Copies of this chain bind each other. A is one copy, B any other.
Amino acid sequence: MCKKVTNIRDIAKLAGVSVATVSRALTKPEVVRPATIEKVKRTIAALDYSPNAVASSLRRQRSDNIIVVVPNIHNPFYSGIVQGIENIAHDNGYKILLGETQDNQDRLDRYTAMIASRGADGLVLLGSLLPTVVRESINAGKESPVPLVLACERFDGLLSPSVEIDNVAASRLATEHLLGQGHERIGTISGPSANTLSVDRLQGYRAALRKSQIRFDRQLVVEGDFSIRSGYQAMLQLLALNPPPSAVVCANDEMAIGAQKAARELGLDMPEDLAVVGFDDIRFAQYAVPPLTTIAQPTIEIGETAMRLMIRVLTASVAPGERVVLPHELIVRESTGRRLSTAPPRRARPTRRAKS
C-alpha cells in the first residue's frame, strides 16, 4: 500500500543535478539549458515522478485553486457558467473546484473556509447566498475578506466585482413581448424577494406595465423559490383569480415548466388560453410543452468574464465594485403567440430569435 513516492530529490540525484535545477526545469524552463531539461525530463518519466503540489503551495503561498460555489449542481443554468470559468481558469494555470451549497449556509461557509486555510485562492459565487464572513464585512463596511467575484448576482453594499445581465431590462423585454401580443392582464411568478435578481426581474415587469399604463395588481404577483414545484403552485394560485391572467412571466424556466403543468391540468391551452414566459433558456426549455419563450443569458461568457475578473482580483488590479453587464436575448417559442390572431399558432413552428 504505502510504497514511498518519488520526490524532487530522487530526480535530482538520479539526473545528476541539484534539486533547484529540477525545480527550475519544471517551472522556468527558459532559464535552464535545453540539454539539462531533457535529462531531467527523462528521469522524471523513468521514475514516474509527479511534483507535490501541496509542498509547492506551501512554499509559494498560493494554491492556484479557485472555488466555484453553485447553489445546486443540477440547475442547468449554472452549467454553462461553470464551463466558461473552467475555460479561462485552465488557460491561466488555475484549477477550479466546484462546491454545491444546496442553499445551505453552513456548506457555503465550509467552502469559503478553504480560502482562509489556503486550500484555495479565491471564490466565485453563483447564486444568492453569501458566506457569513462576507456578510459581516458588508455590515462592517469593509471589503470582502476573501477574493470574491459574483457571477449572476449582485449584493448592495458589497464591493466585490460582479458579472450579470441587466435583469430589469430583460424582464421588461419579456413583459413587453406579451404586451405587444395584446395581453393586458399579465401575472408574474417571481423569485424569493431576498434576492436582488428577483427584485430586479420584478421591477422590470412593473416597469413594462407602467409604460403601457397598466395598473399594477398585487394579486398578480406570486412569489416562488425558483423550483419547479413552486412554479406549479404559484400558477394554481394565479389561475384561481377572477379574472385570471392571460399571460404569466416567470422568473426562471424551472418555475415556468411547473407553471405549464398547472395550466395543462386545468385544461388550458397554451398559448391560446395562457401565454407563459420563462427566464434562462435552460436545455429543457425547448422541450417544454409548448416550447418555452424565454430570456437567454450568455452563460459561457458570464463564466469567462467572472474568471477574468477573479484573476484581476488576485493580482490586485480590479477596481472595487466593478460590474460587468452582458447582453441578454429574447428567445421566442410557442409558449407565447399572437393573442389577437384568428388562427392560433401551432406546434413545430421554427424558433425565432430577437436580439434584445
Contact = CB atoms under 8 A, between A and B. Distances in A.
A122 interface: no
Contact of A50 (B113, B257, B264): B113
Contact of A98 (B73, B75, B76, B114): B73
Nearest to A55: B58
B98 A100 contact: yes
A355 interface: no
Interface residues of A, number: 52
A83 B102 contact: yes
A59 to B, nearest CB: 9
A348 interface: yes
A63 interface: yes
Nearest to A56: B117
Interface string A90-125: 100001011110100001001001101111000000
B118 A52 contact: yes
B53 A118 contact: yes
Oligomeric state, in number of copies? 2
Contacts of A51: 117
Interface in A62-93: 63, 65, 70, 72-76, 78-79, 82-83, 86, 90
Contacts of A257: 284, 287
A54 B63 contact: yes
A254 to B, nearest CB: 8
A328 interface: no
A283 interface: yes
B348 A265 contact: yes
Contact of A78 (B58, B73, B114): B73
Contact of A117 (B52, B82, B102, B287): B52
A178 interface: no
Contacts of A264: 289, 347
Contacts of A1: 316
B53 A82 contact: no
A258 interface: yes
Interface of A: 1, 50-55, 57-58, 63, 65, 70, 72-76, 78-79, 82-83, 86, 90, 95, 97-100, 102, 107, 110, 113-114, 116-119, 228, 232, 257-258, 260-261, 264-265, 283-284, 287, 289, 316, 347-348
Given A74-B74, A95-B119, A265-B347, 13 more contacts: A53-B119, A54-B118, A73-B78, A74-B78, A74-B79, A79-B100, A83-B102, A90-B110, A98-B98, A228-B283, A232-B287, A258-B287, A264-B289
